[in-house]
Structures are given as C-alpha cells and as structure tokens.
Amino acid sequence: MLDAFALLGDGIWQATAPELLAATLIGVVIGLIVGALPGLGPTAGVAIMLPVAVGFGGTAAIAALAGIYYGAMFGGAVTSILLGIPGDAPSVMTVIDGHALAKQGQAGRALGMSVYASFLGGVIGLVLLVALAAPVARAALAFGPTEMTALMCFALSFVTVLGGRNLMKGFTALFIGVWLGMIGLDPIVGPARYTFGFIELFQGVDFPIVAVGLFGLSEMFLSLSRRVGALAERPSLRSLLPNLPDLIKSWWVLLWSSVVGFFVGVLPGLGGTAATMLTYAMAKKSSRNPSEFGTGAIQGVAAPEAANNSASYGSMIPLFTLGIPGSATTAVLFGGLLMIGLQPGPRLFVDNADFVWTIFGTFWIGNLMLVVLTALLIPFLARIVFVSTAVLYPIVFALVIFGVYSINYSMGDVTIALIAGVVGYIMLKLDYAPVPLVLGLVLGPLVERGMRRTLILSEGDLSVFTERPIALTFLLMTVAVIVVPLIVTRMRPVGPPSI
Amino acid sequence: MGRMITHRLLSPVSAMAAVALVALGLGVQGCSGSGEESASSFDASSYPDRDITMVVPFGAGGGSDILSRTIASVIQELDLVPVEIVIENRTGGSGAIGYDYVAKQAGNPYMLASLSVSFFTTPLLGASPVNYADFTPIAAIAMSPYIMAVRAGSPIQSIDDIKAATRLTTGTTGVASDAALLANMLQNQSGVTIDAVPFDGEGEIMAGMLGGHLDFIFGNPVEILPNIQAGTLRAIAVSTGERLQTLPDVPTLKELGFDIEHAQVRGVLMPLGMPPEVVAYWEDILRQVAMSDAWQRAYLDRFKEEPRFAEAEEFAQIIEGTDALYSDILTELGLIQQ
C-alpha cells in the first residue's frame, strides 16, 4: 500500500506538467458548467467533449474527460442549492436541504458545505482509490444481480424515513415513481410498457429530466400563485460565506457518506445517484434531529455531496483495474481510452502503470482546482437568491428548457419536463413529498432488473437471496430498518423513534 | 454538440478557446449547410464540392462513433476526398432519431451514416419510423467477430463441456443483440438450454462474467482479448467462418460442427436516391480506406477487428441477411407479431 502512495506521489508530480495542468483545468471548468446547467450531466458532458479532448492526445485527453466527470459533481450542487433545480442526477438529493437553506438566506452556508463535502468526499474517495483499487475491484465482482437487488431493497427501505409526515402519501409517491420507471421497453423481455404508442417513450423517461421538472419547474409554477419578490433580508456578508463550524459539526456524516458513496460507486450498474439517496437517508436516520431534514439540515447537504464525489472516483476503479465501464459516464471514458490507443482491461494497470498513476495524480490536482474555484465563486453565486424571482425565474426557466432540450435535442424531453413540473406543482399543493417519487424512479428499475436477472439465473428460485451471505446481510438490514423503529416506538410511546 | 471536426491535433492551450465556445454553445445543434438536394440536378464532375456530413446516431465514444471518426480521419489522412467530413452525433431512441434524420435526406449525396446493431433491431421492435430498406448500402469496411469465452477458473474447458451441460447462462446487452442471437443459435443446435440474461451494458456483463455469475460470454475482441492476455478469461470458440489471426488456436463454431457464422459487419450507408456515380465514388474511397495501412493501424489493430471489404451489392445482401436473422430471433422471442 505504501508503494501505491509512492507511485501516486510520482503521478502527481507528472500531473503538474503544464499541458496536463491545462487539460485538467479545462476538464474541471467544463465539468462545473455541465454540472450546473440543469439537465446536462456528466455523461452528456464527457460525451460532448470526447472528440475535442481526444485531440489533446494521450494522458491529457483522459485527464480532461475525467475532470469533466468529477467537476460536474461540484457544479451540480450549485444549481441545486441556489435555484432548487438539480443540476444533474447525482445532485437531486442536495436540492432538498440545500435549497431550503438558500431560501432562508443561508445560501453561502449551504454552498460552503457542498464545497467542503465535495472536496472531502473527493479526498476520501481518492485515498480509497489509491489504497484499495485492486482488492475493491475484485470484491465488487462478488456483487451479482442477487446482491445488487438486496442492496437496492435496503436503499428502498429508507423510504420510511424520507416519505414525509404522511406515510400513505409517501408510499403513493414512491409507487408513482416506480411506475414511471417502468415506462418504456421492458428491459428483460422487450415489449413496450405504458408508452401509449409514443415512440419517444420507448427508451423510458430520463431521470434527470423528470427531476428537473419535479423539483425546479414545480417551484416556479408555484411562485406564479404567490406575490413575487426577493428575500426580505439584505445579504449580510455572513450569509454569503461558508461556515467553518458546520464542517466540524458534520465530520462524521461526511466521513461515512464518502465511504458508502465510494463503495456504491464501485459497483457496476448502480452509480452515484443511488449512493446519494442511500447516504442522505442514513444521515437523516442517524441524526439527533431528523425532523430538521427537509427544512434546511446542513447534514442533508453534506451527505449527498460527499457521496457523489467519492462515488465518481469509485466508479473509475472497475474501469482502470478491470476494463469494465460500470456506468454511462465511464463507458464514454472507456471509448476515450480506446481512441487514444490504450487497451482498457486487467493489464492496463500493469502495462501502462505510468499512465494510470499520472491520471490519478490529475484527480488530486483537479480536486484542488475545484475547491479553489468554487470557494472563490461562492460569495458571488450566493447573491443569486437575493435577486427578485420576477427577474430570476424567466431566465432560469429558459435555461432549464435549453438544458433539457440539449440532452437529446428532443422536444419530447421538454414536454416530459413540463409535465413533471405540473405533477410536482400538484404534489406541492397536496403536500406530497417529491423525494419518494425520485427514489422510486431511480431505485425501482434497479430493483426490477436485479430481481428479474436473479430469477432468470436461479430459474425462479427465490432461496438464492438467503443462501448468498452478502444478499442475506442486506436483506436482514432492510428488515431491521423497517422493524426496529416499530419496536422502539412500541416500547417508548413518547418521543421520536431512533436507532 | 452537433458539429465537430475530428482530425486536428489540438494542444490543450490552443483548444481552450474552442472548448469555451463549445461549452457556451452546448445544445446548439449543428447547423450543417447541407439542405435538400435533388438527384436529377446531380453533376458528377464537380462532386463533391462541399463538406460531407457523417451522422452517428449514438453518443461519442461508442462503437459506431469511433468507427465513423476513424473512417473520416483515415480519409482525410490519405487525402481521398477534396472536402471535409464532419461527424455529427444525433442521438436518441436507440438510433431511431439519427437514422430517421439520414433517411429523410433522400437524394442528398452529402450525407453518410454507419451501420450498427440497432440499425436492425430498433425498426424490427417497432421503435423507428425507418428501416434498412430506406438506405443505400455503400460498402462494408471491417467486421467484429464474437469470441465465446469462459472465466479462467471455469470447469468448462472446451465445447464438449458446453454440449454436456444441461443449462448454461450468458449475458446480452438489451433483449436483442448479437450475443443473444448467437446464444439462441447455439441453444437450438446443441440442445443445451441457454438463458441469456439481459443487462444494460457490456461492462455489466463482463462484471457478471468475471464475478462468476454467468457461465460464458459472447463478446467482441476489444473487450475479450485483454482478459485473455491477462489470464482472467479463456476462449472456447469464435463466431467467424475462419479462425482469427489474434487467436490462431481457438476453433470456429463451424469447425466444431455448428452451422453458426455471424460477426458484426461494419459499413457505411447513404440515404435512398443516390446516383450510381455517387455509390461508385464512395465504394472506391472506402475500398482505398479498407486496403490502407492507416486503416489497419488506426482501426483494425487498435480495436482487434478483422479486415472485411464488401462492395455495395454484396453489402446489400449482408444487410438483408442480417435483418432476416434478427427478424427470426425477435419473432421467436415473441417481440414481433407476424
């Protein structure tokens, strides 16, 4: 392991070559932009820049492309916090408390936490990447469809925590989300489901597009029924600056959210968004003040932001150690490796060790660049919440439509976002929490596919879930999440449930 | 970003400005100048006199994208065409959007596209307004074989162990893929039950394979060969008519007594309504590409694919044959009602 850090030291030194520094800077700046633009996420960003970046040649190309990926994790939080619109899928959970804080005039504090969390998540993810890449990659392979399904059941069980005040409404929203996730061609046997004959729906509804409508547009629609105006208070310098004590208060959440995010990120097919949902729910569950979540809990920003950053590094592990792209974004990076003439696969680490360690070096430098860039921008960005919504919303609305359209150049996507906006508006009016819906939309398809793959492999035998130790562990944890609070409430009828 | 030129080597610093522009213009669709062109007014002597658009119906970095970009860069490198070839990624709907766009440009001799698996499967599944009959086949330029492989520690040592099994599992990307097609043919001819589990991408299948969750895999050389070299996978057979240069000791499925010969043919298409001169022009260009050292180096060697050139007529037959294969398996799976 010490060897690994010596190699990394060398890699960081290599990564300070001017050409690599420039490439990394380009990557992270573009990442910030695509992350912040609603709708466009890291996958689109990396794909769009691939042909240009390949022109940089070799290591610089991959440094720039990877920079876009983890840069987007920083950028997504900005839009989520300031405007309540998820900049990309992995920052959806950041909207909930981040935007609530911004509406209370504490945008600087929330942005500050997102920067700390992103940076720490990045550093922890990078340390784990360097120290554990090979063993973690092998361990991840133990996760077959059975284990993935059990893990996703565990994540879904947290809907009991995130469902809002009314359990019935929470589950209703969850099932709407699961249903939305089923729209499109059946992933296992093929026929179209709930597409009503629209070819546009064959590929299913895109999660980032629904999230943009559900969280962002809905709030703008709601503002139409209110008096327009800006926040009453004037921006005090304090409200524009990050708050250091928050960091100390949240260190525990930051630490394990980063670790959990990293390991979920490593697993092929799951991805950063699922990681943010898991860590957000765990942060709420373990909080002394769970009712604060949803109304502006600083840990509600810390957990998902730490998780999505470390997950982005975690997802590089299968790519660099095994040549397995486990997510849409790393699949594009895989193409990038091929285009610059490298052979992604188990021997990349051995045959091109220099390249791999230099790339890991650029990750460290890129992470530093991002923290400096975003920290400098916070006082300026935080002012946005003090702009009158009469001025701000029309501009943002246009940006949202532009962002959604540019993902696939499709007016169908714009329509879906608008419909999601209306649905979100109705949910707000009727006091349905939108979080269970996105939970269902992201995790539902993962559970369904995992379950059906498992059952094909086991020829319909459900006992595989109890025979495999990893799957069994997660299922027992799922049961615990649901049952323990019930028992605790029974025994102690007064007071909030806790574990 | 719609429009992007492929072949210039940019230094990061000088690319900074370009990148900023790209970032600002995200989503602004490539406003390529090529409008409608009527075939009747075609003047062969001056063709081509403006930039050619090569549409990729998928995102950057995928197989179809890399193929198109490499073809374009080899053409430019060998200076075979007096104009530029601009790659345009028009994504969405599993290729339906891009292919529909190209098909609608009937008679426009400045529009190219490349073949893919979705070119066949998406229309057959009823998810595309256009199908293979809406295109002019130009030429096949390479082919990607499939290698049947097992994990290094697998008890399966040869095809005999496959035949002796009662049931085996493998992976496929989506419901309809070449891997599913090959697994289906193998099942029908060997009598072994083969369950092909649909995953969302090749990466997930490889993870399932290396993790021991699947029994075998049908994969392209670019993903299988590095694992064979690293000793994590073992090859059992190849799907081509002849053995591969890269794996001379691995038998073909044909040698092993199966009537199975299938590879993914890479090739170039144009919209309908092409004058014969245009077809001949591109056939000739693609022949020169296929025969060139640059192509061998930049594509075949790098992506471990096999040389395969076919003229328009033969290519059209390949396309029809492939469509029939997919039509059969999708009918068998109950996805096409007849």
Please write the tens of the pLDDT for every residue from B72-102. Answer: 999 999 999 999 999 998 887 788 889 999 9
Q: Are residues B139 and B273 in the same domain?
A: yes
> Comparing A428 with A164, which gets the higher pLDDT?
A428
Q: Measured in whole angstroms, how far is the alpha carbon of residue A328 from the centre of its chain?
A: 13
Cβ <8 Å between A322 and B206: yes
CA distances from A409 to A291, A404, B26, B100, B269 (A): 41, 8, 11, 14, 23
Cβ <8 Å between B23 and A449: no
Tell me, what CATH number does B271's domain have? 3.40.190.150
Q: Are residues B133 and B275 in the same domain?
A: yes
Q: Are residues B230 and B169 in the same domain?
A: yes
Structure tokens at B97: 């959007």
Please state the φ and ψ torsions of residue A367, each to the nearest 5 degrees: -60, -40
Which is it for strands B233-238 and B85-89: parallel, antiparallel or unpaired?
A: unpaired
**What's the rounded mean pLDDT across residues B226-249?**
93
Position B35 scores a pLDDT of: 41
Which of A22, A188, A346 is opposite residue B227, by nearest beta carbon? A346
Cβ-contact B45, B14 below 8 angstroms:
no
Q: Are residues B157 and B93 in the same domain?
A: no
Structure tokens at A388: 């009158």
Q: Which residues of B touch A52 (CB under 8 A)?
A: 4, 10, 15, 18-19, 22
Residue of A nearest to B229 (CA): A347
Cβ <8 Å between B303 and A338: yes
Please write the tens of the pLDDT for every residue from A408-454. Answer: 778 888 999 999 999 999 998 998 888 889 889 989 999 999 999 99
Please write the tens of the pLDDT for every residue from B98-125. Answer: 999 999 999 999 999 999 999 999 899 8
Cβ <8 Å between B222 and A341: no
Residue B327 covered by a domain: yes
DSSP three-state, residue A18: helix
Choose from B19, B91, B232, B296 for mutation: most chain A CBs within 10 A. B19
DSSP A452-493: HHHHHHTTT-TTHHHHSHHHHHHHHHHHHHHHHHHHHHHH--
Position B317 scores a pLDDT of: 96
**Is the pLDDT reported for residue B225 higher than 90?**
yes
Please state the φ and ψ torsions of residue B238, each to the nearest 5 degrees: -120, 155
Please write the tens of the pLDDT for every residue from A172-226. Answer: 999 999 999 999 888 888 888 998 888 778 888 888 889 999 988 998 888 887 7
Please write the tens of the pLDDT for every residue from B132-141. Answer: 999 999 999 9
- Looking at chain A, the whole-number percentage of residues with pLDDT higher than 70 is 95
**What's the rounded mean pLDDT across residues A79-100?**
90
Which of A322, A402, A403 is opposite residue B210, by nearest beta carbon? A322
Q: Are residues B137 and B156 in the same domain?
A: no
Q: Is the peptide bond before B48 cis (omega within 30 degrees of 0)?
A: yes
Residues B217-244, buried b or exposed e (16+ Cβ, 10 A)?
A: bbbbbbbbbbbbebebbbbbbbbbeebb
Q: Which residues of A touch B226 (CB under 8 A)?
A: 323, 343-348
Residue B11 covered by a domain: no
Structure tokens at A478: 């799922």
CB of A401 less than 8 A from some CB of B: no
State which of A234-238, A361-365, B29-33 shows the largest mean pLDDT: A361-365
Q: Are residues B207 and B218 in the same domain?
A: yes
- Round to whole Å and give the CA distance between A470 and A148: 9
Cβ <8 Å between B211 and A341: no
Choose from B16, B29, B122, B210 for mutation: most chain A CBs within 10 A. B210
- Round to whole Å and give the CA distance between B69 and A54: 11
Q: Are residues B120 and B82 in the same domain?
A: yes
Q: Which residues of B touch A187 (CB under 8 A)?
A: 174-175, 198, 200
Q: Which residues of B touch A328 (CB under 8 A)?
A: 201
Q: Are residues B133 and B162 in the same domain?
A: no
Cβ <8 Å between B18 and A52: yes
Cβ <8 Å between B223 and A345: yes
Count of CB atoms situated within 10 Å of the CB of B29:
14
**Is the pLDDT reported for residue B142 higher than 90?**
yes
Position A492 scores a pLDDT of: 62
**Is the pLDDT reported for residue A482 higher than 90?**
no
Residue B65 covered by a domain: yes
Position B200 scores a pLDDT of: 87
**What's the rounded mean pLDDT across residues A97-109?**
88
DSSP three-state, residue A54: helix
Sign (positive/negative) of CA torsion B296, B301, B303, B307?
positive
Local confidence band at B25 (pLDDT 50, 70, 90 cut-offs): very low
Q: Are residues B127 and B92 in the same domain?
A: yes
Count of CB atoms situated within 10 Å of the CB of A479:
13
Q: Helix A328-339 and helix A42-54: axis angle, to 10°? A: 10
Cβ <8 Å between A406 and B207: no
- Round to whole Å and give the CA distance between A471 and A469: 6
Residue B16 covered by a domain: no
Q: Are residues B193 and B232 in the same domain?
A: yes
Computed on alpha carbons and rounded to an integer, the radius of gyration of chain A in Å comes to: 22
Position A353 scores a pLDDT of: 87
Q: Which region among A422-426, A476-480, B44-48, B202-206 has the lowest average model confidence (pLDDT)?
A: B44-48
Structure tokens at A73: 């994790």
CA distances from B82 to A202, A296, B4, B112, B300 (A): 41, 62, 18, 16, 25
Local confidence band at A43 (pLDDT 50, 70, 90 cut-offs): confident
Cβ-contact A8, A361 below 8 angstroms:
yes
Q: How many domains does chain B have?
A: 2
Cβ under 8 Å to A: B residues 141-160: none
Q: How close, in Å, is residue A245 to chain B by CA atoms?
A: 36
Residue A416 CB burial class (10 angstroms; 0-12, 13-18, ≥19): buried
Q: Helix A18-36 and helix A353-381: axis angle, to 10°? A: 50
- Looking at chain A, the whole-number percentage of residues with pLDDT higher than 90 is 42
Residue B306 covered by a domain: yes
Position B93 scores a pLDDT of: 79
Q: Are residues B269 and B299 in the same domain?
A: yes
Query: Where do the H-state alpha helices sit in A409-434?
Result: 411-429
Q: Which region among A428-437, B17-26, B67-76, B144-153 has the lowest average model confidence (pLDDT)?
A: B17-26
- Round to whole Å and give the CA distance between A212 and A205: 12
Cβ under 8 Å to B: A residues 329-348: 330-336, 338-339, 341, 343-348
Position A323 scores a pLDDT of: 87
Ramachandran region, residue B193 (left: φ > 0; alpha: ψ -120 to 50; beta: rest)? beta
CB of A385 less than 8 A from some CB of B: no
Residue ranges making up the domain that contains B199: 147-238
Cβ-contact B145, B240 below 8 angstroms:
yes
ipTM: 0.85
Residue B245 covered by a domain: no
CB of A40 less than 8 A from some CB of B: yes
Q: Are residues B318 and B286 in the same domain?
A: yes
Residue B136 covered by a domain: yes
Residue of A nearest to B94 (CA): A203
Local confidence band at A104 (pLDDT 50, 70, 90 cut-offs): confident
CB of B333 less than 8 A from some CB of A: yes
Which of B11, B27, B62 is opposite residue A406, by nearest beta carbon? B27
Q: Which residues of B touch A320 (CB under 8 A)?
A: none
Residue keyed to tokens 């060998």: B78
Tell me, what CATH number does B172's domain have? 3.40.190.10
Residue B55 covered by a domain: yes
CB of B23 less than 8 A from some CB of A: yes
State which of A102-106, A452-456, B203-207 shows the largest mean pLDDT: A452-456
CB of B202 less than 8 A from some CB of A: yes
Spell out the residues 6+ positions from residue B188 whose beta carbon is closer than 8 angstroms to its own.
none
CB of B94 less than 8 A from some CB of A: yes
DSSP three-state, residue B86: strand
